[in-house]
Structure 1
Amino acid sequence: MSVPNPSSSASDIVGDHWSFRVLPRMFHPYLRLTRFDRPIGAWLLFWPGAWSLSLATAQEARPPDVWLLLLFGVGAVVMRGAGCVINDLWDRDLDGKVARTALRPLPSGQVTPRQALFFLGILLLLGLLILLQLTATAILLGVSSIALIVAYPLMKRVTYWPQAFLGLTFNWGALMGWAAVTDSLAWPPVVLYLGSLAWTLGYDTIYAHQDREDDVLVGIKSSALKLGDRTRPWVAGFYAVAVLLMAVAGGLTGLGWPFWLAVVGVALQAGWQVWTLDIDNPDNCLLRFKSNRYFGLILWLGIMLSPVVAA
């Protein structure tokens, strides 16, 4: 079977990612299926867990556990990939009707649904092996997230707020990180989870503006379509709630001045996104969406450095 050319400007596939040069050609469709060539999704999945487990260790005046960070990092890559496979299995007929997604492995025929299901099983097994390294509470939380992961791709068919369901799903690590350290839950991770949900509402609404015309064409919904020209004040509100709740979570854990400096940093970063946002320019939206990896890094550094400075 000939592989479609991913270089078309209409396609969202990255044609020159390093993984395509390193790994044999037979693996390329599976790399594209998991969006391995676009790691921003894995970063956005990783940060809430990293924040949470670092909060849990910071309250004990110690830096985060490197092994746990590694587990959450690998887990983010694996489970983000599994979520993409589930999404593409649900959406393979819709994706084939849109130029940006028509060359994805399932609608283009590079991977069959049966092959995708087998590959999904491998990813879920890897995710389970990682999950079993954690505490009992974290394991229970991880298993309970499967329903959200499976249901999320359907939400854009029934509501203009699929971004809210993405937030519920993507930020589950904010609960699991704390549980992986303490084998329990408390108010700081719950508040952090709610703040992370607001953060996702902001950045994914920005992302959704790239697809407005295609979404109307195929009959699916998004917060971008719902909000339209009111997007800027709404995103500003989402980000304001996110920063406020993240600050409360840090305050509940008694973090020091590096954290509060980081709160100022993420507020400025989010403000830059809103101030410079052009919802009619897909490249502008994509750049601001991707910049949230730096939002995550700034906040994490503030959490991580708080106990170091205190010592």
Structure 2
Amino acid sequence: MTDERTTPETDGQVFDAVKGNWVDTLAPAWTRPYLRLSRADRPVGTWLLLIPTWWGALLAASSAGEMTLRTVWILIASALGAFLMRGAGCTWNDITDRHIDASVARTKSRPIPSGQVSVKRALGWMGLQCLLAFFILLTFGKLAIVLGIASLLPVAIYPFAKRFTWWPQIFLGLAFNWGALLAYAAVAGEINSAPVFLYLSGIAWTLFYDTIYAHQDKDDDALIGVKSTARLFGDNTAVWLKRFLIVTVLLMAAAVIEALSGRSLLATVIAIGAPWGMGWHLVWQMTRLDINDPDTCLRLFRSNRNAGLIAALFFAASVFV
């Protein structure tokens, strides 16, 4: 669905989408506004939602010392669920933020403020994505189902957080890392201190990468009164990022030690490589950060997919020793 504000030159493409992405080049034209609403043309967010679920599932598998078919299914299903729930969450975010998005240069090309999708149709699209994700969740076990339903609360609150707190990134972290608890519970059948440490580590990581992301919009945010850690920290951003980096690494290490207390020393050492390797990637990001260069901020934000996957690979390797 388009209107006169969607020009042939742009064909409704979103400003900060990955150039030449599959949505803009391969998807049928009628699906593009909805896929853009779900950020399918900007896949890094799906990765950042998915990766903590892989951490949780793989840490639980490493704790047990085996990779079962159920764990493999949880890993696959988490990928499907992350795509759907990230899409639903972004749709909800764009519905609630449609007036703000229309005032920000980077976001005014999104499907709702640009007129490609109506609010009514966006609500229907959000409901469909949630329904499909729920069917997947039903295969995860009772505790995971309860946790999955509970995750809707931080998802619902997050879009409004920037209106009442300077720390909306905390609410994003609460929502985006919930999968660490859910997937651990799906594999292990329980929740203990290990996934809680992992969850808190993920929240600190979110504060790190989303503060970098928020520096893209700080000037527009200041004009319209939207709060963020980027605006709060300002020129002291690097100091705060170092703190978030340290907390991320320490809490992930604590999760490994708790989860692998009954495993071999070799398995523990390999799993400790997760916070070590990821931590060095975050250090690398900081050496290249320029908070006044939006292109650099976006590039570094996207690189957090690799940072998170480094940890996942170490967790995976520790399962088999």
TM above 0.5, yes or no, is yes
Matches within 5 A, 1:30-179: 30-63=34-67, 65-179=71-185
Contact 2:291-2:297 within 8 A present in 1 as well: yes
Q: Shift of residue 264 of structure 1? A: 2.1
**Distance apart, 1:22 and its partner CA:** 2.4
Structure-2 residue corresponding to 1:285:
297
TM-score of the two chains, using structure 2 as the length reference? 0.92
Q: Cα offset for 1:275?
A: 2.1
Q: Distance in 2 between matches of 1:93 and 1:143?
A: 29
Of 131-140 and 282-291, deviating more is: 282-291
Residue 203 of structure 1: which of 209, 225, 231 is its match?
209
Q: Please, which moves more after superposition, 264-273 or 204-213?
A: 264-273
Look up the equivalent residue of 1:150 and give its one-letter code: A
**Correspondence list, 1:212-223, <5 A:** 212-223=218-229
Paired residues of 1:10 and 1:99 also in contact (CA < 8 A): no
Aligned partner of 1:224 among 230, 248, 257: 230
Q: State the secondary structure of the residue aligned to 1:108.
A: coil
Task: Select 1:184's aligned residue among 178, 183, 190.
Answer: 190
Report the equivalent of 2:276. 264
Counterpart secondary structure, 1:107: coil
Question: 1:7, 1:13 within 8 Å by CA — same for their partners in 2?
Answer: no
| Range with greater deviation from structure 2 (259-268 or 52-61) | 259-268
> Which segment is superposed worse, 175-184 or 32-41?
175-184
| Alpha-carbon offset, residue 102 of structure 1 | 1.2
Are the equivalent residues in 2 in contact too, given 1:48–1:171 (CA < 8 A)?
Answer: yes
Does residue 297 of the first structure (1) align with residue 301 of the second (2)? no
Q: CA distance change for structure 1 residues 156 and 6 in 2, over 3 Å: closer, same or farther?
A: farther
Q: Cα gap change, 1:23/1:93 in structure 2, threshold over 3 Å: closer, same or farther? A: same
**Identity among equivalent pairs (%):** 45
Q: Distance in 2 between matches of 1:10 and 1:104?
A: 6
Q: Deviations over 1:136-170 (max 9, x none)?
A: 00000000111111110000011110001100111
Letter matched to residue 159 of structure 2: P
User: Mean Cα displacement is larger for which, 12-21 or 51-60?
Assistant: 12-21
In 2, are the aligned partners of 1:48 and 1:174 still within 8 Å (CA)? yes
DSSP 3-state at the match of 1:226: helix
Q: CA deviation at 1:7?
A: 8.3
Aligned AA (2:137): L
Question: Would the alpha carbon gap of residues 124 and 252 (structure 1) be closer, same or farther in structure 2, given more than 3 Å must change?
Answer: same
Verify: 1:250 aligned to 2:256, yes or no.
Answer: yes
Deviation per residue, 1:226-251 (Å, 9 max, x gap): 00000001011101100110011011
In 2, Cα distance between equivalents of 1:211 and 1:56: 38
**Partner letter of residue 107 of structure 1?**
P
Q: What CA RMSD, in Å, does the superposition of the two structures yield over aligned residues? A: 1.7
Return 5+ residue gaps in structure 2 as ranges: 261-266
Deviation at 1:15, TM superposition (A): 5.4
Name the SS for the 1:97 alignment partner.
Answer: coil
Asked if structure 1 preserves the Cα contact closer than 8 Å seen for 2:13 and 2:109, the reply is no
Q: What SS does structure 2 have at the residue aligned with 1:202? A: helix
How does the TM-score come out when normalised to structure 1?
0.95
Contact 1:7 1:15 in 2 (8 A): no
- Quick check: 1:235 aligned with 2:241? yes
Partner deviation per Cα, 1:187-239 (whole Å, 9 max, x = no partner): 10001011111010111001100110111122100000000000001011101
Structure 2 CA distance, aligned partners of 1:106 and 1:10?
Answer: 11
> How far apart are residue 9 of structure 1 and its match?
11
1:8-46 Cα deviation digits (max 9, x unpaired): 999224452123332210111011101101110000001
Q: How many residues align?
A: 309
Amino acid at match of 1:46: L
Partner of 2:319: 307
Following superposition, the deviation at residue 127 of structure 1 comes to: 1.1
| Consecutive unaligned residues in structure 1, runs of 5 or more | none
